[in-house]
Amino acid sequence: MAEIQEEEKQLETQEIDEGEKPTWKRLSEIFETDDPFFNSILFLQGYDFSSNSYAIEGDYITIIDPGNDYTAFIQLFEKGIKPLDIKKIVITHGHRDHVMGTFELFRYSDIMQNRDIQVILHEEGPFEFKEMIKKIEFPYTEIRGGETIEVSGFQLEAIHTPGHTIDGVTYYHAPTKTAFTGDTVLPHAMAEPDKNAGGNLNYYLYGVKALLKKDIENILPGHGMPVKSLGRTVIEQTYESLMMKVIGVEKKIRWVDGAMHLVQKGLLEEAVFCCDKALAFDSNNLQAVQLKAFCLTDLDKCEEALPLFDRLIDAKKDDPGILIGKGRALMGVGKYLESIEYFDKVLEFHPNVKDAQVLKGMALYLSGRFEEALEIDGFKEEFIGRFRETLEKRAK
C-alpha cells in the first residue's frame, strides 16, 4: 500500500509550471538522462485545442502528432530544423487536435514543392483526413497494428489500441521501454470513448490490456507531461478507471466486488486483475483467491490456478465447488487420472452432483478407461448428447 501511494506521489510531481509558455524542449532534459533516444526527441506540450507533439531527430525528422497550432512549427524551425528535414508524420489517432497541424506543415512552400513527407496512420483513420491528404497529393501509409515502423533511425512497434477512437495506435520503443500513447493513456485523466470516432469501452479495455502486456516504464502521452519510470502505474490507473466504467459504478468499490461484476460480464482477465489488486491489500482474502482460481481455469491458465486451489483446499477441505475446481484444473493440464481423486471426494458425500459425475466420466474417458466412464449415468447422458465427437478426437 505504501509503495502504491509513493508511486502516485511521484507521478503528481511530474508537472509543468502552468505559468510557463509551452515551447519545444529536449526530452532528455525533462527526464534528466543522456539516453540517445530521449536526447533525439523534442517535446512540445499541447495547449488550447492542440495536442502534445514530438519531433524525433536522426537522419531526418519524424513528427509524432503534429497537433493543431501553426506556431508550433515556427518555434521548431527557429531551432535550426528546416521544413525539408521532416520526412514522416506519425499519427496516434485522427482527432483534429492531433492531426490538423499536418496541413500547417504542408503550407510551407519547400514541403509543398517536394511532397516528400509520408504520413503514417491506422487504416481506420478518418476518411476526411485521408481524402484531404490525397487531394494535395501527399503519400500516406495505412497500418493495422503489429508492424514495426522505422522513424529517424529508431524502430517503433505499432500497437492497435482502440477505445478512445477506433483508430488509436500506440508506438512502442522496446529498448527504452517507452510508449507514445496518444490519448489512450494519459497522466491523471482518462479520455472518454468518442462514439462518433468509433470509441467503445470494451475496445478500450482491449487496447489498454495490450499495453499491460508490454514492459512499459515511460509514457509520452497526447496531453499532459511525459511520465518517466511510472508508466505502468499510469496504464494500470487507466485500466482501473475503465473497469469501474464497465461495471457502472461512480465510486470505488471493493476489488473483489468489482471482480464479481466483471465475471458476470464475461471479462475474466479483468476480473483476475481485480483479484490481484484485492490480494495485494490482503493476501489471505480467500474470496479473491477462489474467484481468481476459477477465472484462471476458465481462461485455460490451469497451471497458474492449481496452487490457488491447493490453498483453498487447505482452508476449506470439503467444499465441493473447490474440489471440482481442482479436478478441472488438473484436467486442463492433462492430468486426468489425478483429477479423478477430487471428483471422487465430492461424490463420496454428494453422489448426485452431476458436474462431478460428468467430469469424472470425462477424465476416465480421456485417460482411455472408456467402459468405466460409460458406467457413470450422468456422464453417459451427456456423452451421448454432447461430448462424443469431441472426446473421441481428444482421446486419439
3-class SS string, 155-224: EEEEEECCCCCCCCEEEEEHHHCEEEEECCCECCECCCCCHHHCCCHHHHHHHHHHHHCCCCCEEEECCC
Q: What is the pLDDT of residues 325-337, one digit of tens each?
A: 999 999 999 999 9
Task: With cut-offs at 50, 70 and 90, classify the pLDDT of residue 18.
Answer: very low
Q: How far apart are CA 369 and CA 9, in angstroms?
A: 60
Task: With cut-offs at 50, 70 and 90, classify the pLDDT of residue 20.
Answer: low
Burial 230-256 (b: 16+ CB within 10 A, else e): bbbbbbbbbbbebbbbbbeeeeeeebb
- Nearest CA to 357 out of 340, 370, 336, 371 is that of 340
pLDDT surpasses 70 at 9: no
Q: What is the pLDDT of residues 160-177, one digit of tens each?
A: 999 999 999 999 999 999
In this prediction, residues 62-79 reach a mean pLDDT of 94
Q: What cell numbers appear for 167 in the block?
A: 483508430
Task: With cut-offs at 50, 70 and 90, classify the pLDDT of residue 13.
Answer: very low
Q: Is 69 within 8 Å of 50 (Cβ atoms)?
A: yes
* Highest mean pLDDT: which range of 171-175, 239-243, 252-256, 276-280: 171-175
pLDDT surpasses 70 at 343: yes
The helix-helix angle for 255-264 and 268-281 (nearest 10°) equals 170
pLDDT surpasses 70 at 10: no
- Nearest CA to 138 out of 159, 162, 121, 163 is that of 121
pLDDT surpasses 90 at 73: yes
Would you tell me how many other CB atoms lie within 10 Å of the CB of residue 155?
12
Q: Residue 386: its pLDDT value, please?
A: 67
Amino acid at the residue 341: E
Task: With cut-offs at 50, 70 and 90, classify the pLDDT of residue 189.
Answer: confident
Would you tell me how many other CB atoms lie within 10 Å of the CB of residue 282?
12
Q: What is the pLDDT of residues 290-311, one digit of tens each?
A: 999 999 999 999 999 999 999 9
Give me the chain's average pLDDT, please. 91
Residues 6+ apart with CB under 8 A from 264: none
Amino acid at the residue 131: E
80: alpha, beta or left, given left = phi > 0 and alpha = psi -120 to 50?
left
Q: How far apart are CA 93 and CA 134, in angstroms?
A: 18
Q: Is 379 within 8 Å of 357 (Cβ atoms)?
A: yes
Q: Residue 248: its pLDDT value, please?
A: 82
Query: Which residue(s) pair with 64 in the sheet?
Result: 54, 90
Q: Is 299 within 8 Å of 273 (Cβ atoms)?
A: no
Task: With cut-offs at 50, 70 and 90, classify the pLDDT of residue 53.
Answer: very high
Q: What is the pLDDT of residues 135-151, one digit of tens each?
A: 999 999 999 999 999 99
Task: With cut-offs at 50, 70 and 90, classify the pLDDT of residue 17.
Answer: very low
Percent of the chain with pLDDT over 70: 91
Q: Is 94 within 8 Å of 51 (Cβ atoms)?
A: no
Domains within the chain, CATH numbers bracketed:
2-247 (3.60.15.10), 318-396 (1.25.40.10)
